[in-house]
Structure 1
Amino acid sequence: MRYLFEEYAIDTDLRELRRGTDMVSVAPQVFDLLEYLIRNRERVVSKDDLINAIWNGRIVSDAALTTRVNVARRVIGDSGEKQRLIRTLPRKGFRFVGQVRKAVGRTDAGVADNPVEPTKPTLTLPDKPSIAILPFANLSSDLEQEYFADGVVEDITMALSLFRWLFVVARNSSFTYKGRAVDVKQVGRELGVRYVLEGSVRKAGNRIRIAGQLIDAETGAHLWADHFDGASEDIFELQDHVTASVVGAIAPKLEHEEIKRARRKPIENLDAYNCYLRGLASFRRWTNDTNSEALRLFCKAIELDRSLTSAYGMAAWCYAVRRSYGWMNERVQESAEGTRLARKAVHLGPDDPVALCMGGYALAIIAREFDDAAAFMDSGLTVNPSFAVGWMLSAWLRVWRGEPDLALEHVAHAMRLSPLDPYVSGMQGAAAYAHFLAGRYGPASSWAEKSMRENPNFVAAVCMSAASNALAGRLEQAQSGIARALQCDPGLRASNLGDLAPFRRAVDLATFAKGLRKAGLPK
């Protein structure tokens, strides 16, 4: 029998160990030990098992056994520190954790010429961003952490698979690389993915550290890296926290990388999805011109692919922003088109969180259908609870419905999922409005200032800064805020505040208008 692992081949009939075409010199007992560990790789092998199998039950000291194991590691390029292939499990024994293939037949080099598992072909990349989440390495001697690491990977895989724009390789395929030192470029070719997420788990005392890194499989470039710490007694809470944090961090990062790719393509070669990505890039710049360009690109994406429900949702959101910022040129026609696109989005995309959340929010802003909007957005967040931007829009909807406490809950959830999100100014702005509704003008102005630092053109945040400062008695800051707001939107008046801030409750709009008039907003 011949076993293949990494660049090594061990022939149990010829009693040979080769690395590529080179013969590796191995002492007989070390060969036997290595063979025994490989044949029993599906379980932990105890010291007694090894002594009975290799030394026929003779008395062997722990030091002698440890020496043989260390020599076995050394001949296959492993070490007691790395334990990449042979792992020591304290008070339990040893286990060979490398990925092994059985082979039949032989070439002159002693390597299998007819392996049971043939060399994997290079797969074509799918037509959307793709990722494989590799098994996390257990850097601890505690076997229990291996189960925890596998659980984290399974949860991350499941959470990322809820993003419809992302192709996620199934866990069973990714786990074929468990225990192997891999080249991410090779993984990318074999699994047909553009990105690879890998990580590790290390335990020290009652603390656990989980580290992860996102890599571009085409270039090998590192795109993101972070680590998370927690107590081992809160293992499930830590697992949930790691999953939410990793997904919240890398989903926007992946989208950002895809947008950069789309922007490098010639405009005449854009397909529906690349039009959609370019639309996202324009939308995030928050000006009248870039909003118009984003709307054009989303509509082009719909024209190229009528089933791209996310594009309907984003186009509807464009119209909602145009209404709020006073950018509509033909108010009646544009409002009707925005409502039409929003209805298309929520009805064509019952399993698309982007379509449901953006389309639902547009129905609230343009058509004032607050209850239907809440139902659609709740459905979208049920489909994908990791959709941070959906939680942000849900927070704004709760502001307009007069539910400040619920709005703050949803803001907190959005920021925990994606603290560095491109829409973080929107999250901060929603927090400002929620505090304002609750009569907390100090926190309201503080959150509004944070939002303005992220997005100086965010007129809703500028107005909130002015209103909250005015009602708190800080008139100089309030008047400065109104001057800035009128620079952003010269047509802003107390009489048309309902477009900027579509409060359902008249009392909420009246309080907001009172603060802005006190700050100096014209009637």
Structure 2
Amino acid sequence: MRVAARTSSFQFKGREIDVADVGRRLHVDAILEGSVRRSGNRLRITAQLVSTRDGYQLWSEAYDREVKDVFAVQEDIARAIISALQVKLGARRSAALRSRPTNDLAAYDVYLKGRFAWNQRTSTGMQEAVRHLEQAVARDSGFALAWAALADAYVLAIPYAGAPREVDWPKARAAAAKALALDSTVGEAHTALAYGTMIYDWNWVAAESSFRRAIRVDPAYPTGHQWYADFLWSQGRLDEALEQMQQAQRLDPLSLVIATELGQTYYLMHRFDKAEEQLRGTVLVYAQQHRYRQAIDVMRRSLDLGGFLEDLAGGLAYTYAASGDRASATRYTAELTRRLASGRVGPFALALAYTGQGNLTRGFAYLDSAIAVRDIFLPEDFFDPQLDALRADPRFDAIEEKMHVGRKRK
């Protein structure tokens, strides 16, 4: 039985829906809908299972319980659905139904808030995620899923919220280790550890080992496949990356992050028409198709909405130069140089900027610096087509040796 991920399912929350359309978009045969009303310490929960093929109700029930019984109600609903769908569970999945992630409902509440904030992928959202998840583990130190989510939050607080790598990456490792000490089958913890090991430690062997372990213990976790695909980008194993990203999208078909990274995968493969089809004409494709004005407009809008991201900023300087706007390229590159001097940007952004201007010597110099400091944006972007001019230069062989990766492989 395949269950669509929470992030995809919640796209329909609070909306008038056509069940057939939901089934088509999520690739499911049935949907569970319902409502929860709270009065004091009492809950009124209604739920119904509806076929997406014909709209007929397969099962329905109402529950009047105390708040403290919410996990028991979850188990009752899950078992009723299994019965209605005539699904047989193995011993492990049956045990999972009986398990409770925590006995502290307040901890569970802030855990859900933390996961929601983390999924926003914004500076403010990542800071909120850290705050909520720290509260969750403070309330229940035995809450393995909350420790794993906190590891995720620490890992992404560095690129999204500007948290210091030397502080938050050790915190992330410790949180993941705590989650795994409590429950070694928490795929989220293995995934967070693997991703951080890739972008912060640049330990490719250890990272891949952790990714494979994560997928083995929880093959239904979309981010496990998505981030493993990101790792495969870094190694130039792009056909494998495409398989993993497509699996992530099958598990979470409406995730904007995964949809975007699927398009990014096609872009890295130089399949620009397919990338544009996936991304609906976004910045990376525009630049490679020489539609520079559109690319610049989208990049500037993205930076305004999402905050400063180093690789995107470097790409903007690159695109200014490629479009022939040397003055803007020079001005923006100078701004990136000031940011580098104050520690607010890494060398990789300058490598992109100078490559776009045709100054390959300075491009190589900043790429060398990016390797020396383990710039966190370089692993995922190492096979970016914006670096093709450097890749065609004989000096790039030394860069590949320093990165311990070979030529792009399918």
- The TM-score normalised by the length of structure 1 is 0.43
Q: Is the 8 A contact 2:259 2:278 kept in 1?
A: yes
Partner of residue 446, structure 1: 277
SS at match of 2:151: helix
**Distance verdict in 2 for CA 1:375–1:275, change over 3 Å:** same
**How does 1:25-44 map onto structure 2 within 5 Å?**
none
Q: Distance in 1 between matches of 2:107 and 2:288?
A: 48
The answer for the alignment partner of 1:511 in structure 2 is 387
1:332 Cα deviation (Å)? Answer: 2.8
Q: Name the counterpart of 1:161.
A: 93
Q: Which runs of 4+ in 1 moved over 6 A?
A: none
Match of 2:307 among 489, 506, 519: 489
In structure 2, distance between residues paired with 1:167 and 1:329: 38
Aligned to 2:400: none
How many Å apart are 1:132 and its aligned residue?
0.5
Tell whether 2:114 aligns with 1:275.
no
Residue identity opposite 2:266 in structure 1: H
The aligned runs of 1:271-420 (5 Å cut-off) are 271-325=106-160, 327-346=161-180, 348-420=182-254
- Counterparts of 1:40-439 in structure 2 under 5 Å? 126=71, 129-130=74-75, 131-133=78-80, 150=86, 153-154=87-88, 157-158=89-90, 161=93, 166-167=97-98, 270-325=105-160, 327-346=161-180, 348-420=182-254, 424-439=255-270
Secondary structure of residue in 2 paired with 1:132: helix
- Whether the 8 Å contact between 1:163 and 1:384 is mirrored in structure 2 is no
Structure-1 separation of matches of 2:388 and 2:183: 35
Q: 1:274 to 1:408 in 2, by over 3 A?
A: same
Q: CA deviation at 1:409?
A: 0.8
Tell me, yes or no, if the aligned pair for 2:236 and 2:383 is still in contact at 8 Å.
Answer: no
Distance 2:377 2:95 in 1: 30
- Say whether the 8 Å CA contact 2:220–2:251 is kept in structure 1: yes
Task: Quote the offset at 1:282 in angstroms.
Answer: 1.9
Task: State the distance in 2 between where 1:394 and 1:490 align.
Answer: 25
Give the deviation of 1:270 after TM superposition: 4.9
Higher strand proportion, which one?
1
CA contact (8 A) 1:339 1:366 kept: no
Q: Distance in 1 between matches of 2:94 and 2:144?
A: 15
Q: 2-side partners of 1:425 and 1:399: how far apart?
A: 19
Structure 1 residues 349 and 508, CA gap change in structure 2 (3 angstroms):
farther
Percent identity, aligned pairs only? 21
Letter in 2 for 1:321: L
- Match of residue 290 from structure 2: 473
What 5-or-longer segments of structure 2 have no aligned partner?
A: 1-65, 315-346, 350-369, 391-410
Greater relative contact order structure (CA < 8 Å, 6+ sep) = 2
Task: State the Cα distance separating 1:279 from its structure 2 match.
Answer: 1.0
Structure 1 residue 298 displacement after superposition: 1.3
Q: Corresponding residue for 2:366?
A: none
Q: CA deviation at 1:469?
A: 1.8
CA distance in 1, matches of 2:295, 2:107: 45
Assess, with a 3 A threshold, how the Cα gap between structure 1 residues 128 and 429 changes in structure 2: closer, same or farther: farther
Q: Which amino acid aligns with 1:320?
A: V
Alignment deviations for residues 236-292 of structure 1 (CA, whole Å, 9 cap, x no partner): xxxxxxxxxxxxxxxxxxx9xxxxxxxxxxxxx853333211211222233222211
Q: Answer 1 or 2: which has greater helix percent.
A: 2
Q: 2:276 & 2:153 partners in 1: Cα distance?
A: 27
In the alignment, the residues of structure 2 paired with residue 513 and residue 428 of structure 1 have an alpha-carbon distance, to the nearest angstrom, of 28
Larger radius of gyration: 1
Residue of 477, 501, 517 corresponding to 2:377:
501
Deviation at 1:305, TM superposition (A): 2.6
Residue 332 (structure 2) aligns with:
none
Q: Distance in 1 between matches of 2:92 and 2:165?
A: 39
- CA 1:296 to 1:399, structure 2 compared with 1: closer, same or farther past 3 Å? same
Deviation at 1:512, TM superposition (A): 8.0
Query: Structure 1 324/307 Cα, relative in aligned 2: closer, same or farther at 3 Å?
Result: same
